[in-house]
Structure 1
Amino acid sequence: MHDGMSAEEFWDARYGGSERVWSGDPNVALVREVSDLAPGRALDLGCGEGADAIWLALRGWRVTAVDVSGVALERAARQAAEAGVAGRVDWQRHDLGVSFPEGEFDLVSAHFLHSPEEGMPREKILRAAASAVAPGGVLLIAGHAGPPPWDPDGYPGVRLPTAREVLEDLELPQGRWEVLRCEEYERMQTAPDGRVVTRTDNVLKVRRLGG
């Protein structure tokens, strides 16, 4: 942790330091990979200020959205109310290394579940995410392939695995899952100084067979 802060304290401080941390737009990979799925129950892990959860809710999904930061969740709930989907999103605070939401979901989404705090058990969390996918459902994981171009030393000490490494880390039972996408992709992002840069990320999309 940073200076002995808990995960909740670290992220509450991060979100509390500005009115908005993220763009407010849904993640590119989510829009691309989920737009053609029939709405059902979705779990959004590390939902932050709620853009992905709200996008899903607007398209008919019933969403459980999880974050460690109560500040982020309060902000996300306000955004959901303004978007008219407050009744479609269940906001839950979890330190995912300690507790995990209950239930099975047709979509489990984890976008950029990286953290500078020491000891976040990302592989354990993502295996729990896979276990929460209902038969016939989809697990979608997007992550950074490297540090941001404007900060080559960003994410010190944080492992940024490839999509193939994420798949291997999940330890999925053979014959029970179908790999739909496992690759790098590029997206445009605005740097802190206002420049628009190309960022390389990776995405893994797998479907639990059955159902």
Structure 2
Amino acid sequence: MSQEDRQRWNDKYQQATAQREPSAFLRSLEDRLPHAGRALDLAGGAGHDACWLAKRGLDVTLVDISDVALEQAEALARDAGVTLTRLRLDLETEALPPGPFDLVVCLNYLWRPLFAAVPKILSPGGLFVFAQPTRRNLQRHPHPSARFLLEEGELPTLLQGLQSLSSTEDWTDAGRHEARLLAQKLQHVADGVRPQ
């Protein structure tokens, strides 16, 4: 992303007034997510999901390109009585933080090369949670634009070195058409290579 993109996201977070709840999709997976270990929240914005994960007992690293979002995440974490590691990172040009992580979350952010990078930082048995609108979402909403949308049926084809535990593609209760995924790095798989 360019400096212009960073500024656009800073402006967006600066203008946001409504307090957001943690992702309903993430909360729906509560019984399947770990209560301890390391978690990475990619493009996690103002930290609502990261704080929810930290309250569960996870050591959470929040990555975002927006300085303003990271400042808001710090304040939210302080108010919630949790600690977050916050990193300003351009996910399109910089390497992911070193793992291993027991959980990686990426909600409402699409950068297809991440699907090759995530298995390398997940611990064996680690989980990957992903959700992103598809092109069908444009039937009801002008945003995000087509360049930030998955093709219908594309999400399962992006998985590398992970086993899908659940995958859906449908209209959500919030009225968005999303592809959603919970995947796991197999215990015996090292960096996406299956033994013969």
What range describes the TM-score normalised by the shorter chain of this pair? 0.7 to 0.9
SS of the equivalent of 1:179 reads strand
Counterpart check, 1:187 vs 2:172: yes
TM-score in terms of structure 1 length: 0.78
Instruction: Name the residue aligned to 2:127.
Output: 138
Q: Deviations over 1:132-165 (max 9, x none)?
A: 11101111111112436653x3333414225741
Does residue 98 (structure 1) correspond to residue 88 (structure 2)? The answer is no
Partner of residue 5 from structure 2, selected from 4, 7, 11: 7
The answer as to whether partners of 2:155 and 2:179 remain within 8 angstroms in 1 is: no
- The superposition leaves residues 4-46 of structure 1 with CA deviations (integer Å, 9 ceiling, x where unpaired) of 75321121121122334xx421111111124333322110001
Distance 1:34 1:130, change over 3 A: farther
Pairwise CA distance, 1:210: 0.7
Contact 1:164/1:182, CA 8 A, preserved across alignment = no
Letter in 2 for 1:41: R
- Residues 104 and 118 of structure 2 are in contact (CA less than 8 Å); yes or no, is this contact kept in structure 1? yes
Mapped partners of 2:67, 2:57: distance in 1? 25
Q: TM-score, normalised by structure 2?
A: 0.84
- Give, in whole Å, the separation in 2 of the partners of 1:163 and 1:210: 30
Q: Which residues in structure 2 correspond to 1:1-150 (within 5 Å)?
A: 6-20=4-18, 23-39=19-35, 40-86=37-83, 89-99=84-94, 100-114=96-110, 122-145=111-134, 146-147=136-137
The answer as to whether partners of 2:43 and 2:62 remain within 8 angstroms in 1 is yes
1:210 to 170, 187, 193: 187
**Equivalences, count:** 185
CA contact (8 A) 1:163 1:203 kept: no
Which amino acid letter does the alignment assign opposite residue 126 of structure 1?
F
Equivalent residue for 1:199, pick from 149, 154, 176? 176
What is the distance in 2 between the residues matched to 1:133 and 1:162?
26
Distance in 2, Cα, partners of 1:157 & 1:37: 31
Distance 1:73 1:157 in 2: 27
The change in CA–CA distance for 1:24 and 1:180 in structure 2 (over 3 A counts) is same
Name the CA shift for 1:147/1:81 in 2 (closer, same or farther; >3 Å).
Answer: same
Match of 1:193 in 2: none
Unpaired runs of at least 5, structure 2 = 189-196
Counterpart code for 1:47:
G
Which residue identity is paired with 2:178?
D
